[in-house]
Amino acid sequence: MEKLLILLISLLMAMRGAWADDNKLLSPSKLEMFVDDLPIMPKVQGFSVRDGALVPGNLTIGMFQKLWKFHRDLPATRVFAYGLSKESATVPGPTIEARRGVHTHITWENHLPSRHILPWDPTIPTAKPSSGGVPTVVHLHGGVHPPFSDGNSNSWFTSGFHSTGPTWSSPTSSYPNVQPPGNLWYHDHAMGLTRVNLLTGLIGAYILRDPSLESSLPLPSSPFDLNLIVFDRSFRTDGSIYMNSTGNNPSIHPEWQPEYFGDAIIVNGKAWPRLHVQRRRYRFRILNASNARFFRFSFSNALPFFHIGSDSTYLPKPVKTTGFLLAPSEIADVIVDFSDSPTDSAILLNHAKYPFPSGDPVDEINSKVMKFVIERQRSPDQSRIPRHLIRFPKPSPQSAVKTRYITMYEYTTPSDEPTHLYLNGKAYEDPATETPKSGTSEIWHVINLTDDNHPLHIHLAHLSVLEQREILELEKFKDCMTKLNDAIKCHVDNHAVGKKDKVAKHERGWKNVFKAQPGFVTTMLVRFKLLGPGNTTYPFDATAEPGYVYHCHILDHEDNAMMRPLKLQP
């Protein structure tokens, strides 16, 4: 019966896909570049002030279906958007500004209709609400918070909390904001739906500030401190979001495809926007919120980037680059000094192949991201790029109490079409095997046996990459792993100790996601305790149910099912 139903669904989806594919796909060349101004998302304060003192902030943020204009010449697009109200909801959602040490409590409400905008696949491990609706759950990416607030994929809920997932416990999430200042983001994390829920617009930025540490840094501040949230989308001529809804193995998964790529590049909700800037320094917190597209950014006029932070927090010192690679979910926190610009405009470019690193090259259209129009006259500028930023404890590999091997596998049909991806050859539902002791650090060797670069994201923890080393006899290693699934034995027998690849300087700080290169062992120190200075004990029970997860941040992989539980022990 179920087989028959799946067959029927796949047939319907194939028909629907074929019809949409043939008739209505928008050529991105129809959208003139740099005609819309870059939107600045509304700001929401995550704390309150009472009698001059900061007290916890209590917010209610909803998810709404509405229409959103991605481009002047594109009809409005049906999206799912976060906002304080339907009228004020945006794509991306409002930027939440929190203060270190002051709780932010957020009640996330689902006001979405009974049907999803995009097709989703019932044959991958997925939320299945008994009474219809769109399952959602919010994860604060990079957050250090108790397990019940982590947006566990099985803690999903539908409109009015009519249906809830097996680990759902509370409509309100509590974010203690105890970690170092930095750049976080919130996004959907529902089981099997993350890729489609983000594609419809459920993304937003969250900035954690700590004036006691940051006010001494002479960095550009508001209004010269801006978030740039970048993602790729395809559209039909009627404005609707286009996703190829015919699986690459439709008899196994009618809809699921291993990687989504859109051909329009969107920044802060507009396709190829422009921003008028003063001839001075700006701070840009750049977030790659693509499902699968990597970006290798550079400026058309070779302006440099000064990296001051990455996805968790500040670097100890600024690092200058002329370009950098950003995986999905990675964040670059950079200063750009337009007063050095030899030209009056600069285009932010992208040169990453897709899939990265061995896919198609970008073309004239998707190699461009946005345009900066620079004033002729210099503006006064009190900001500087300081020699030193903020120092955190250096990673100390000697402190690690345990070593683990995490192996990335892709499973294919005999004709080499991907069917699913696993970590350590295990399904998400298999009992937790990564069970670190709260308050300790561990060494994780991440072994990538696939052809793709998988950005590995670990909830709660901070990680620091120690080295990335090539696997010398990759085929032998793969055969060994396929037979034994024993990374230690295969590692030793096959001498996975080829040449080292340098870790880019701007990626040597504390992070929460790192790109695992294909055919390499990436070794990282993973810290399951607060990042100091000061008391490193989590001020909440990190060992409580339902625990945390770690996963690949290519969303199409995460959904099927490159994700495993992470269950801390007392």
Contacts of 181 (CB under 8 A, 6+ apart): 100, 208, 209, 210, 213, 214, 313, 314, 390
- Angle, CA of 101, 103 and 109, to the nearest 5°: 150
Cβ-contact 555, 195 below 8 angstroms: yes
- What is d(CA 108, CA 204) in angstroms, rounded to the nearest whole number? 13
Which stretch, 130-138, 367-375, 475-483, 556-564, contacts Cu ion (CB under 5 A)?
A: 556-564
Q: Is the backbone of residue 177 left (phi > 0), alpha (psi -120 to 50) or beta?
A: left
Which of residues 255 and 558 has its CB atom nearest to Cu ion in the complex?
558
Q: Mask 358-397, x = binds ligand NAG (CB under 6 A)?
A: x---------------------------------------
Contacts of 484 (CB under 8 A, 6+ apart): 490
- Nearest alpha carbon to residue 133 among 152, 151, 110, 108: 110
Length of the chain: 570
Which of residues 152 and 450 has its CB atom nearest to ligand NAG in the complex?
450
Which stretch, 153-161, 263-271, 303-311, 320-328, contacts ligand NAG (CB under 6 A)?
A: 320-328
Please tell me whether residue 554 binds Cu ion under the rule CB under 5 A. yes
Please tell me whether residue 535 binds ligand NAG under the rule CB under 6 A. yes
Which stretch, 158-166, 288-296, 340-348, 544-552, contacts Cu ion (CB under 5 A)?
A: 544-552
Q: What's the distance, CA 393 to chain centroid?
A: 25
Contacts of 568 (CB under 8 A, 6+ apart): 435, 436, 437, 438, 460, 528, 542, 543, 547, 548
Contacts of 223 (CB under 8 A, 6+ apart): none
Q: Residue 272 phi/psi, 5° resolution?
A: 40, 65
Residue 399 corresponds to which tokens in the numbers above? 């402190």
- What is d(CA 439, CA 492) in angstroms, rounded to the nearest whole number? 30
Q: How far is the CB of 355 from ligand NAG (least distance, A)?
A: 7
Please tell me whether residue 202 binds ligand NAG under the rule CB under 6 A. no
Contacts of 364 (CB under 8 A, 6+ apart): none
Hey, is 194 helix, strand or coil?
helix
Q: How far is the CB of 534 from ligand NAG (least distance, A)?
A: 8
Count the neighbouring beta carbons within 10 Å of the beta carbon of residue 15: 11
Task: Find which of Cu ion, ligand NAG, none residue 91 binds, CB within 5 to 8 Å per kind.
Answer: none
Please tell me whether residue 452 binds ligand NAG under the rule CB under 6 A. yes
Task: Find which of ligand NAG, Cu ion, none residue 244 binds, CB within 5 to 8 Å per kind.
Answer: ligand NAG
Task: Find which of ligand NAG, Cu ion, none residue 557 binds, CB within 5 to 8 Å per kind.
Answer: Cu ion
Please tell me whether residue 244 binds ligand NAG under the rule CB under 6 A. yes
Cβ-contact 167, 233 below 8 angstroms: no
Q: Residue 318 phi/psi, 5° resolution?
A: -65, 150
Q: Mask 425-464, x = binds Cu ion (CB under 5 A)?
A: -----------------------------x----------
Please tell me whether residue 473 binds ligand NAG under the rule CB under 6 A. no
Please tell me whether residue 420 binds Cu ion under the rule CB under 5 A. no
Which stretch, 52-60, 137-145, 279-287, 547-555, contacts Cu ion (CB under 5 A)?
A: 547-555
Which of residues 400 and 562 has its CB atom nearest to Cu ion in the complex?
562
Please tell me whether residue 246 binds ligand NAG under the rule CB under 6 A. yes
Count the neighbouring beta carbons within 10 Å of the beta carbon of residue 278: 17
Which of residues 91 and 178 has its CB atom nearest to ligand NAG in the complex?
178
Which stretch, 194-202, 323-331, 424-432, 492-500, contacts ligand NAG (CB under 6 A)?
A: 323-331
Q: Is the backbone of residue 489 left (phi > 0), alpha (psi -120 to 50) or beta?
A: alpha
Among 352, 362, 549, 563, binds ligand NAG (CB under 6 A): 352
Count the neighbouring beta carbons within 10 Å of the beta carbon of residue 497: 13
Task: Find which of Cu ion, ligand NAG, none residue 167 binds, CB within 5 to 8 Å per kind.
Answer: none
Among 288, 341, 424, 464, binds ligand NAG (CB under 6 A): 288
Which stretches of the chain bind ligand NAG, using CB under 6 A?
A: 21, 48, 55-56, 58, 105, 244, 246, 248, 288, 290, 292-295, 297, 325-328, 350, 352, 356-358, 448, 450-455, 515-519, 535, 537, 539, 553-554
Q: Which residues bind Cu ion (CB under 5 A)?
A: 454, 552, 554, 557
